[in-house]
Amino acid sequence: MKKACVIGWPVSHSRSPLIHNYWLKKYGLEGLYERREVEPEHLSEFLRNLGANGYVGCNVTIPHKEAALQVIQNIDDIVRRTGSLNTVWVENGQQQATSTDGEGFYRNLLACVPGFSIVGKSVIVLGAGGSAKAIIERLLRAGVGEIAVLNRSAGRVEELKAVFGPQIRTLTPDRFVSESKAASLLVNTTSQGMKGQPPLDIDLSALPPNAVVADLVYVPLETQLLKAAKARGLQVAGGLGMLLHQAVDGFEKWFGLRPEVTNELYDYIARDIVKDAQ
Ligand code: NDP
């Protein structure tokens, strides 16, 4: 029986087992997806022995997404550019890794707003952490015009500029409203608005009527940001959709079948999140 897992420290919060085991059952595949708590000092040993321990691959979550790079033999361009990985599989006896967060974000965006094109457009990204990097990398490959990044710590935006080049600009809070007039997409990649975190309080009034607002946060399912965007009549893309779409590539690599992100799966995971958000 093929087995995959998610490794993190802690890992109890991860919804990946629910998603992958749902697909295994739905498609009648013999397989299992487990949670494995791996302490940072045991990370390289665990990854080196992944196959020997009976796994065809794993997801890698906090705090191992960057450290795992040191151990995996073959990383792709996405990992090289973003400096982090979340999906590992074994091919011809060698470990391979990619990061599916950017792809999950992009596919969910297109699923939520069919026909949306980012080519040549201006985007505002709130936050400059790991997920911001993944999204910026994907938007650049999709042909985005420019990306203005607003972050609490200015130093991290400088890092993004160094990695991704002149299409990345710094946005300061005092210029947010005036610059949002030209934005086709606004993405929150900070943890603000998440249950237990400070709220995200920004003024969406100047965004164009056809702008899209995306939030990576999925607890709660509908954040204040998404509520405010909907109240203005804007189209939105939520964090749960991204979480589901980012899982597709890993499942296909491990279990050999490309799974579908359906409303039924969305509702199944949403029920679990609603329990958590109460
Ligand atoms: P990081 O820790 O790498 O980055 C966090 C970012 O949030 C930084 O830019 C940080 O700013 C900012 N931030 C945190 N707290 C505050 C605050 N109180 N005020 C202002 N800015 C703040 O995290 P990730 O990028 O990995 O994850 C960010 C969010 O995205 C999380 O909520 C995570 O759950 C979610 N996520 C969702 C995914 C999905 O599939 N839906 C996938 C991956 C992540 P600074 O640099 O100043 O510290």
Compute the distance from residue 266 Cα to the ligand 1 centre, in Å. Answer: 22
How far is C-alpha 88 from the geometric centre of its chain's CA atoms? 16
Note the pLDDT tens digit of each residue in 242-272: 999 999 999 999 999 999 999 999 999 999 9
CA distance readout (Å), 114 to 111, 163, 203: 6, 30, 26
The protein residue with its alpha carbon nearest to ligand 1, atom 41, reads 239
- How far apart are the C-alpha atoms of 250 and 38, rounded to whole Å? 19
Compute the distance from residue 39 Cα to the ligand 1 centre, in Å. Answer: 22
CA distance readout (Å), 109 to 5, 46, 97, 138, 233: 27, 34, 24, 12, 17
What sign results for the dihedral spanned by CA atoms 260, 246, 187, 276? positive
- How far apart are the C-alpha atoms of 232 and 123, rounded to whole Å? 18
Note the pLDDT tens digit of each residue in 21-70: 999 999 999 999 999 999 999 999 999 999 999 999 999 999 999 999 99
Q: Which residues are catalytic?
A: 65
Portion of the chain with pLDDT greater than 70, in percent: 99
Regarding the beta carbon of 153 and ligand 1, being less than 6 Å apart is answered yes
| H, E, C per residue of 103-139 | HHHHHHHHHHCCCCCCECCEEEEECCCHHHHHHHHHH
The protein residue with its alpha carbon nearest to ligand 1, atom 36, reads 216
Regarding the beta carbon of 273 and ligand 1, being less than 6 Å apart is answered no
Compute the distance from residue 127 Cα to the ligand 1 centre, in Å. Answer: 6
Note the pLDDT tens digit of each residue in 219-231: 999 999 999 999 9
Q: How confident is the model at residue 92 (pLDDT cuts 50, 70, 90)?
A: confident
pLDDT at site 190: 97
What sign results for the dihedral spanned by CA atoms 43, 46, 51, 55? negative
Count CA atoms within 13 Å of residue 44 on its CB side.
6
Question: What are 164-173's contacts with CB under 8 Å, separation 24+?
Answer: 164/81, 164/136, 164/137, 164/140, 167/140, 168/136, 171/124
**Residues 187-197: what's their mean pLDDT?**
96
The protein residue with its alpha carbon nearest to ligand 1, atom 22, reads 190
Domains of the chain: 2-99+245-277 (3.40.50.10860), 102-237 (3.40.50.720)
How is residue 231 written in tokens?
């109240």
pLDDT at site 51: 92
- Tell me the average pLDDT of the chain: 96
Q: How confident is the model at residue 93 (pLDDT cuts 50, 70, 90)?
A: confident
Residues 6+ apart with CB under 8 A from 101: 86, 130, 131, 134, 135, 242, 246
**Residues 136-148: what's their mean pLDDT?**
98
**Residues 84-108: what's their mean pLDDT?**
95
Judged against a pLDDT cut of 90, whether residue 153 lies above it is answered with yes
Regarding the beta carbon of 99 and ligand 1, being less than 6 Å apart is answered no
